[in-house]
Amino acid sequence: MISDKEVSTLLANHCEEFCGEERVGGLQYLRNLYAFAESVQARNILEVGFGWGFSSVAFMASLSKRGGRLTSIDPFYEHKPIEQLEAVARVSHKLDVDWNIKIIDSMRFRTKETYDILYIDGNPGLALHDFYSFHHLVRRRDKNHLRSGGLVIMDGYPDQYPITPAVEELGGYFPMFYKQKCAHAVFHVN
């Protein structure tokens, strides 16, 4: 199992090599995603929009502690720089995380699995569709055992439309800021 120190080193090294503060939220952003996955003891995460794999690495670090699985869907996977894809694949192999990447548009993806986290960071124009297509797959609160429910993390709230109404419908969100703008919303699914 990976130690907290090893997680910190892994995220810092990956961020230094590929992220850059100007491209994404940087190291703190990766740490936040890792912490959210840890908070629900995630075992199964659906990532809509692989992008450059930054979030994938943060989620894999958490999933490795529980033998978890990350499913990433992105229709543009084959257009990513090979070095970036190889780096994420190496992390998956090193941490022994089951990483399943699907080269498919989110509108065509179908599954019956249940997820602990739904991470929507794909095409902003499809964010509302992605939310309505997949939020029902997130683990609900178990009223009998008081186990926490899953999380939905969405890109672009509230600075991008049209996802604001979808997030506000559920309520209970926690905004995640980047450069003084609310970049993501995180909320529990009841």
Domain coordinates in residue numbering, the chain: 4-188
Q: Per mean pLDDT, which range of 109-113, 151-155, 168-172 is the poorest? A: 168-172
Confidence of residue 68 (pLDDT cuts 50, 70, 90): very high
- Other Cβ atoms closer than 10 A to 142: 10
pLDDT digits (tens, 9 = 90+) for 28-61: 778 888 998 998 899 999 999 887 788 899 999 9
pLDDT digits (tens, 9 = 90+) for 99-138: 998 888 888 888 888 899 989 887 766 777 787 788 778 8
3-state per-residue secondary structure call for 70-112? EEEECCCHHHCCHHHHHHHHHHHHHHCCEEEEECCCCCCCCCC
Residue 151 corresponds to which tokens in the numbers above? 């999380």
Partners of residue 177 on adjacent β-strands = 182
CATH homologous superfamily for 4-188? Vaccinia Virus protein VP39 (3.40.50.150)
Cα(89)–Cα(149) distance, integer angstroms = 29
- Residue 90 CB partners (closer than 8 Å, separation 6+): none
121: helix, strand or coil: coil
